[in-house]
């Protein structure tokens, strides 16, 4: 099922040719932006110095802070007259980041959403309830126009009033929903409490926050849907950058529109396929706000094994933010990797804490994890075995020796908002 079969299934050589052509065009386009004129001149780069795709590593990164410094319109590469819409990213502190779109941008963006939805079998026959914020947040209008382009029946219900949302889903025979995974969880609870049957539902599209496989299973069981992961960010149009196909093992990223790199957030060097790092993207079809090597701050990896349905490597689901990365004896560790290991061991719970100390000049990592009583006999010998098992699993996954302490169920702190599971007690130099 393809929206744009030609572009979605390009042969590698043809794809590379298009990427290079579009990269060169983007390099010309950024010359209209003062920030890039100076940045590229300082780095001694002109459009003719980029001859192959590999030459991209010569270009300096663009950071979120650069965009903030350009507030409000410093990154626009076209006259305001050609800007037909503005969105902003949610600035948790200070000014938000402003993104602008030309008419072509809006068209390209809705096409990408249409590709994603078509990829998972959604058609003009589907009835779609879009339960995200329709304001400055790109998730609302982004999905809305993509769905209309396919010809779906769109219900722009936005957020809030869960009972009314459920009533519409039931009465209108909604087949497809889009919202955050946490809102979907809430929705399923309210549906259960109020005995609302949602028999017409087939597909759930979830994004805007990282979520796990166990959340997927829970949502699928409770809502009777197949759940797909959606990834995007406003700086790269919005949602639609990458999306799961029906295989639901990694996300296809649209390589004809986004040039993808995965870097070690400390060194800026590329990491190998299958290794976690920060996603860096150069959008290739943006007119109003072209960007070069934009550091997304999101942690993922390029997957080694492909999927035959679309061209190019997939990315793994986003596991967190690169700001969370720890460096332990020179090895990069993301708290999400620790969580991933622990979730696979049923004898321990999903509550854990990580402590990092410097002992005799060496970094030492201690992981405290709660025992899961349901799976645990209470025998001391079993305890020792379990402890060794957790140490081994962590060593295999992280290539790092850790100290593991098993603790009583319920003894570790619970977090309401963003969890603070890592306490770094090393003295900062």
Q: Binding residues for Zn ion, per CB under 5 A?
A: 245, 247, 307, 309
- Shortest distance, CB of residue 252 to Zn ion, whole angstroms? 6
Handedness of CA 426, 322, 247, 15 (dihedral sign): negative
Give, to the nearest 10 degrees, the angle between helix 103-119 and helix 138-150.
70
Handedness of CA 423, 425, 426, 429 (dihedral sign): positive
Q: Whose Cβ is closer to Zn ion: residue 307's or residue 383's?
A: 307
- Shortest distance, CB of residue 216 to Zn ion, whole angstroms? 17
Q: Whose Cβ is closer to Zn ion: residue 6's or residue 51's?
A: 6
Q: Where are the beta strands (DSSP E) in 7-83?
A: none
From the number of C-beta atoms within 10 Å of its C-beta (0-12, 13-18, 19+), residue 28 rates as exposed
Q: Whose Cβ is closer to Zn ion: residue 188's or residue 226's?
A: 226
Q: Whose Cβ is closer to Zn ion: residue 218's or residue 309's?
A: 309
Q: Whose Cβ is closer to Zn ion: residue 245's or residue 369's?
A: 245
- Shortest distance, CB of residue 305 to Zn ion, whole angstroms? 11
- Shortest distance, CB of residue 406 to Zn ion, whole angstroms? 40
For tokens 């942690």, what's the residue?
Answer: 299
- Shortest distance, CB of residue 146 to Zn ion, whole angstroms? 19
Residues whose CB is less than 8 angstroms from the CB of residue 386 and which lie 6 or more positions away in sequence, other chains included: 347, 348, 371, 376, 406
Alpha-carbon gap, residue 122 to 128, rounded angstroms: 10
Pairing of strands 331-333, 326-328: antiparallel
Alpha-carbon gap, residue 149 to 397, rounded angstroms: 43
Q: Whose Cβ is closer to Zn ion: residue 167's or residue 305's?
A: 305
Q: Whose Cβ is closer to Zn ion: residue 303's or residue 309's?
A: 309
Spatial strand order in the sheet of 348-359: 403-407, 362-371, 348-359, 422-424
- Shortest distance, CB of residue 38 to Zn ion, whole angstroms? 41
- Shortest distance, CB of residue 91 to Zn ion, whole angstroms? 35
């Amino acid at each position: 099922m393809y929206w744009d079969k030609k572009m979605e299934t390009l042969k590698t050589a043809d794809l590379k040719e298009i990427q290079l052509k579009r990269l060169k065009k983007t390099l010309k386009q950024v010359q209209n932006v003062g920030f890039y004129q100076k940045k590229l001149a300082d780095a001694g780069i002109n459009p003719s110095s980029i001859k192959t795709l590999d030459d991209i590593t010569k270009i300096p990164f663009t950071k979120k802070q650069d965009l903030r410094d350009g507030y409000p319109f410093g990154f626009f590469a076209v006259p305001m007259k050609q800007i037909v819409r503005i969105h902003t990213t949610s600035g948790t502190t200070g000014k938000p980041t402003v993104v602008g779109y030309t008419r072509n941008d809006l068209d390209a963006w809705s096409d990408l959403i249409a590709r994603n939805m078509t990829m998972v079998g959604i058609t003009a026959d589907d009835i779609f309830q879009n339960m995200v914020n329709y304001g400055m947040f790109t998730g609302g209008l982004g999905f809305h126009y993509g769905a209309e382009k396919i010809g779906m029946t769109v219900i722009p219900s936005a957020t809030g009033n869960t009972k009314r949302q459920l009533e519409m889903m039931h009465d209108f025979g909604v087949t497809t929903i889009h919202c955050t995974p946490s809102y979907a969880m809430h929705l399923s609870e309210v549906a259960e409490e109020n005995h609302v049957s949602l028999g017409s539902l087939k597909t759930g599209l979830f994004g805007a926050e990282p979520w796990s496989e166990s959340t997927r299973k829970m949502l699928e069981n409770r809502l009777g849907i197949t759940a797909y992961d959606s990834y995007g960010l406003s700086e790269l149009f919005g949602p639609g950058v990458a999306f799961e196909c029906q295989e639901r093992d990694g996300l296809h990223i649209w390589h004809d529109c986004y040039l993808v790199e995965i870097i070690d957030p400390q060194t800026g060097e590329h990491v190998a396929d299958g290794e976690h790092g920060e996603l860096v993207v150069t959008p290739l079809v943006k007119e109003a706000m072209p960007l070069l090597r934009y550091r997304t701050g999101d942690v993922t990896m390029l997957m080694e094994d492909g999927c035959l349905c679309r061209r190019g490597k997939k990315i793994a689901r986003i596991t967190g933010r690169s700001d969370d990365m720890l460096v332990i004896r020179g090895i990069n560790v993301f708290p999400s990797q620790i969580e991933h290991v622990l979730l696979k061991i049923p004898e321990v719970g999903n509550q854990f804490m990580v402590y990092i100390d410097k002992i005799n000049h060496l970094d030492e990592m201690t992981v405290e994890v709660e025992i899961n009583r349901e799976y645990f006999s209470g025998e001391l010998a079993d305890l020792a075995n379990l402890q060794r098992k957790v140490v081994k699993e962590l060593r295999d996954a992280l290539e790092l020796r850790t100290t593991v302490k098993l603790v009583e169920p319920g003894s570790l702190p619970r977090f309401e908002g963003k969890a603070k599971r890592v306490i770094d007690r090393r003295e900062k130099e």
